[in-house]
A and B are shown apart, each in its own frame.
Chain A
Amino acid sequence: MPSFVPYLVHTLFPPTVRLPDILLIDFGLICAGIGVIVLLTKTRRWGWLWNDWLTTVDHKKIAILYLIAALVMLMRGGIDALMLRAQLALPTTHFMPASQYDEVFTTHGTIMVFFMGMPFIFALFNAVVPLMIGARDVAFPRLNAMSYWLFAFGAILFNISFVIGGSPNAGWTAYPPYTGLAFNPGPGENYYFLALIIAGMGTTMTGINFLVTTLKMRAPGMSLMKMPMFVWSTMVTSALILFAFPPLTVALAMSLFDRLFGSHFFTLARGGMPMMYVNLFWLFGHPEVYILIIPLFGVFSEVVATFSKKMLFGYPVMVASIVAIMFLAYGTWVHHFFTMGAGPAVNAFFGLSTMLIAIPTGVKIFNWIFTMWGGRIQTTTAMLYQMAFIPVFMVGGATGILLAVVPADYQLHNSYFLVAHFHNVLIGGTLFGLLSGLYYWWPKMFGMKLNETQGKWAFWLFLIGFWVTFLPQYLLGLKGMTRRMYTYPLGFGWHDLNVISTFGAFIMGAAFVVLVYNIVWSLLYGERDLTGDPWDGRTLEWSLPSPVPEYNFPRIPVVHDRDAWWAMKQKGQSLADLRPEDVHDVEMPKNSPIPFLLGASFFVLGFGMTFAWWPIAIIGFVGIILCLLFSGFDYNDHHHLKADAIRQTEATLGRLQG
């Protein structure tokens, strides 16, 4: 037995990953893994998996990949949340030790923001933005696949931490000096930094991709002011990503250098400046919370117009306010660390700039309400989420304003009041928006509707569960309960509210179960969408059959009006009357294994660096260089879809004349 084996076992499986619950999960994961492999081999699906999914560059398939990842991560983050709430339900509970509690809240926050929210948003971008602007794919299809695989392997790297080596435990914000080696040995924080750097590169590339796509790939006639609101929100979000992620990447890389290479950017010793990390992190962090909400403003703008059967009220004002929010979002980050003590002038400035954001946000709320005003409202599940969002988000925004009042924030900062605030905006805004978009665009993505009755059950459970969980937390915050505490003594008067809150969390857990049931049931028995336009929609994606053929549009449409498809329908036009001579050969991007291999190489590099095993890291690095070189010289990256093949597809869909 070579002597490095005990070392290996001790490093990969320290006592923190040998808790009974984790061992049980290990067992489950291994069984599931073997099951999947056996299933794929038995049904001979490996080739299908590789050719149709792992190497795809089709934005519609990448959307589905993002969606699957996001739902799996929603489950993981949700289970973490239930564990946290179970621990806090009663005073002095020790169902988890303090160290594990820290790991679970860190994992919960990081996963929900970076590995659930972001990919879910990108799933919606990929699923519909090219269709809405009348394009055949995004501007850089292969880069798009690279973004996905960087995200996916970053997520995998983050997720294996709890079974191999130990999870990060410094919160989703990972403030130094606690993340420094002096206080936090072990691989946990390395996992965090590397996973986020890798996934963050993918995100930055997505930002560039969709910025270019929305700027350059619009169908003829679709001027900026004729773009659907969701496309506007995509553009603004991409711009936010482009400028918000660099500070994060820099801060993470510097922290990693402190841990791996002995630098002193953020250490306490040798002139390091931990507070600079806080500044850099929130320089990213505040734009990030807007990255997580603006796309959903876009979703709600589409949903409300479609289901009120009216044009969006005040479109130019909506555009102006979304652009204003983009600029303001860059100028408020200090409100996350008023208590750091940069001084009254700084705090006053940033307190005011934060409050300013409420103005354009309020404008948007009014416009959604005016869109519904006098409309013929159809209470579909997507619309229910929209209608619930308005009051929930208003409460979230109002408590945000309270937090922006500097003297009040000195009291409320890092209390459960803050926790309730951001869940109010993140669940009531982001999650409700994501689910609204999911129900709305599901038929376009999969060719069948999600069952509405089941969907409404899930909706009501989510809504009720949300309020039951988070209203008590506002009160707990006012009663002095601080965030990130793993237990609390009897006699503070906190336990009754905590019991209620935990009860609410389990209602939301039930809602998630219903959601999954709804999805599975609908995939099996759901009502097919034969028209391609099940909601009587307004924008171009509804002019296509569901699911959309590979090339999207056999002929690129010409746009004359804002709600282009609605206008066409009013004029009795359709895109289903194609003449055979209008169909030409189409140039399409070709599948490529490079994005997947690039992601895998980054994973190897990340894993090697996490444990400072340099030979492994170097193997990963060489892999990256090879992938990039190969990709750079690969000119054979597209193919021509023959006009005949397209005519045939369109004919079977009944969309060809003659």
Chain B
Amino acid sequence: MSESEQSITVDEAYEQDNDKSIKFLRPRFHAEAFPTVQIFGYVGSLVLTFAAYFLVMNHVLPVLALLIIILTLAALQAALQLGVFMHVQEGRGMAWQIIPLYLVFLIAFGMVGMSIWIMLFKSGVS
């Protein structure tokens, strides 16, 4: 909650306290334009989802190729969501939003990797 007096422009705020080493995170508040990017993002995310669904349901590809392709689609989807809807590029001050992203990689890959290891039931006799 900011005090309504001293109002500074976004650029001034950026100059004052942004971490200059992460330039791409330049804040973009209040850009009142038609949300073209968001609409394309929305359609794109639907396309990616249905593409994966179609590939799996119709068995058009051999398993290995299928796996590679849906994982790629998933990565694209994640990038799209983060970039378009989750505003990773916006922020003021320290780029706190980046730290949870590292966590995501660590934990998500850990979880998925270990789950595969567990569910293969291949560690020795069982």
Which positions in A face B, CB cutoff 8 Å?
Answer: 135-137, 211-212, 215-216, 239, 242-243, 247, 273, 275-276, 279-280, 283, 330-331, 334, 341-346, 584-588, 640
| Whole-angstrom CA separation of A216 from B103 in the bound complex | 18
Q: List 30 A-B contacts (CB under 8 A).
A: A136-B1, A137-B1, A211-B100, A215-B96, A216-B96, A239-B100, A239-B103, A243-B104, A243-B108, A273-B119, A276-B119, A279-B115, A279-B119, A280-B115, A283-B115, A334-B118, A341-B121, A341-B126, A342-B119, A343-B124, A343-B125, A343-B126, A346-B118, A346-B123, A584-B3, A584-B4, A584-B5, A585-B3, A587-B3, A587-B4
Would A586 and B3 count as touching, CB distance under 8 A?
yes
B107: chain A residues at CB < 8 Å are 243, 330
Nearest CB to that of A638 among chain B residues? Answer: B1
Min CB distance A212 to B, Å, is 8
Would A279 and B118 count as touching, CB distance under 8 A?
yes
- Count of residues in B whose CB is under 8 Å from the partner chain: 25
The verdict on B51 contacting chain A, using a C-beta distance below 8 Å, is no
A280: chain B residues at CB < 8 Å are 115
Would B100 and A345 count as touching, CB distance under 8 A?
no
Min CB distance A144 to B, Å, is 14
B81-114 CB mask vs A (1 if < 8 Å, else 0) is 0000000000001001000100110011011001
Min CB distance B118 to A, Å, is 5
Min CB distance A68 to B, Å, is 27
| Whole-angstrom CA separation of A588 from B122 in the bound complex | 57
B111: chain A residues at CB < 8 Å are 247, 283, 330
| Whole-angstrom CA separation of A341 from B3 in the bound complex | 60
A211: chain B residues at CB < 8 Å are 100
The verdict on B53 contacting chain A, using a C-beta distance below 8 Å, is no
B5: chain A residues at CB < 8 Å are 584-585
Min CB distance B61 to A, Å, is 18
Most central of B103, B104, B107, B126 by chain A CB within 10 Å: B107
B121: chain A residues at CB < 8 Å are 341-343
Would B124 and A587 count as touching, CB distance under 8 A?
no
B1: chain A residues at CB < 8 Å are 135-137, 586-588
| Whole-angstrom CA separation of A243 from B122 in the bound complex | 27
| Whole-angstrom CA separation of A345 from B117 in the bound complex | 10
| Whole-angstrom CA separation of A345 from B119 in the bound complex | 13
The verdict on B2 contacting chain A, using a C-beta distance below 8 Å, is yes
Min CB distance B126 to A, Å, is 4
Task: How many A-B residue pairs have C-beta atoms within 8 angstroms? Tell me.
Answer: 67
B96: chain A residues at CB < 8 Å are 212, 215-216
B123: chain A residues at CB < 8 Å are 342-346
Min CB distance A452 to B, Å, is 36
A330-B107, A342-B121 known; A585 vs B100 contact (CB < 8 Å): no
Min CB distance A134 to B, Å, is 11
Nearest CB to that of B3 among chain A residues? Answer: A584
| Whole-angstrom CA separation of A598 from B46 in the bound complex | 24
A239-B103, A247-B111, A331-B110 known; A344 vs B4 contact (CB < 8 Å): no
A283-B115, A342-B123 known; A640 vs B100 contact (CB < 8 Å): no
Min CB distance A418 to B, Å, is 20
Nearest CB to that of B111 among chain A residues? Answer: A283
A211-B100, A239-B103 known; A330 vs B4 contact (CB < 8 Å): no
Most central of B1, B104, B111, B114 by chain A CB within 10 Å: B1
| Whole-angstrom CA separation of A208 from B54 in the bound complex | 33
| Whole-angstrom CA separation of A325 from B27 in the bound complex | 34
Min CB distance B39 to A, Å, is 14
Nearest CB to that of A341 among chain B residues? Answer: B126
Would B124 and A344 count as touching, CB distance under 8 A?
yes
Min CB distance A579 to B, Å, is 15
| Whole-angstrom CA separation of A290 from B108 in the bound complex | 18
A343: chain B residues at CB < 8 Å are 121-126
Min CB distance A580 to B, Å, is 15
| Whole-angstrom CA separation of A341 from B5 in the bound complex | 65
Min CB distance B116 to A, Å, is 10
Would B4 and A345 count as touching, CB distance under 8 A?
no
Min CB distance A589 to B, Å, is 8
Min CB distance B14 to A, Å, is 16
Nearest CB to that of B4 among chain A residues? Answer: A585
Known pairs A280-B115, A587-B2 / 20 extra A-B pairs, C-beta < 8 Å = A135-B1, A239-B100, A243-B104, A283-B115, A330-B107, A330-B111, A331-B110, A341-B126, A342-B121, A342-B123, A342-B126, A343-B124, A343-B125, A344-B123, A344-B124, A346-B123, A584-B5, A585-B4, A586-B3, A640-B4
A242: chain B residues at CB < 8 Å are 100
A273: chain B residues at CB < 8 Å are 119
Min CB distance A307 to B, Å, is 33
Would B3 and A275 count as touching, CB distance under 8 A?
no
Instruction: Sort A-B residue pairs by CB-CB distance and give the 10 closest, nearest first.
Output: A343-B123, A345-B123, A136-B1, A341-B126, A343-B126, A343-B124, A344-B124, A215-B96, A346-B123, A584-B3
| Whole-angstrom CA separation of A79 from B3 in the bound complex | 49
| Whole-angstrom CA separation of A283 from B111 in the bound complex | 8
Nearest CB to that of B117 among chain A residues? Answer: A346
B104: chain A residues at CB < 8 Å are 243
B1-31 CB mask vs A (1 if < 8 Å, else 0) is 1111100000000000000000000000000
Most central of A212, A334, A343, A585 by chain B CB within 10 Å: A343
Nearest CB to that of A139 among chain B residues? Answer: B1
| Whole-angstrom CA separation of A584 from B5 in the bound complex | 8
| Whole-angstrom CA separation of A275 from B2 in the bound complex | 51
Nearest CB to that of A273 among chain B residues? Answer: B119
B115: chain A residues at CB < 8 Å are 279-280, 283
Min CB distance B111 to A, Å, is 6
Min CB distance B77 to A, Å, is 14
B93: chain A residues at CB < 8 Å are 216
Would A275 and B119 count as touching, CB distance under 8 A?
yes
| Whole-angstrom CA separation of A211 from B96 in the bound complex | 10
Min CB distance A45 to B, Å, is 30
Nearest CB to that of A343 among chain B residues? Answer: B123
Nearest CB to that of A276 among chain B residues? Answer: B119
A137: chain B residues at CB < 8 Å are 1
A216: chain B residues at CB < 8 Å are 93, 96
Most central of A137, A211, A341, A346 by chain B CB within 10 Å: A346
- Checking A215, A247, A330 against B110 with a beta-carbon cut-off of 8 angstroms, the contacting residue is A330
| Whole-angstrom CA separation of A640 from B100 in the bound complex | 33
| Whole-angstrom CA separation of A114 from B114 in the bound complex | 27
| Whole-angstrom CA separation of A585 from B4 in the bound complex | 6
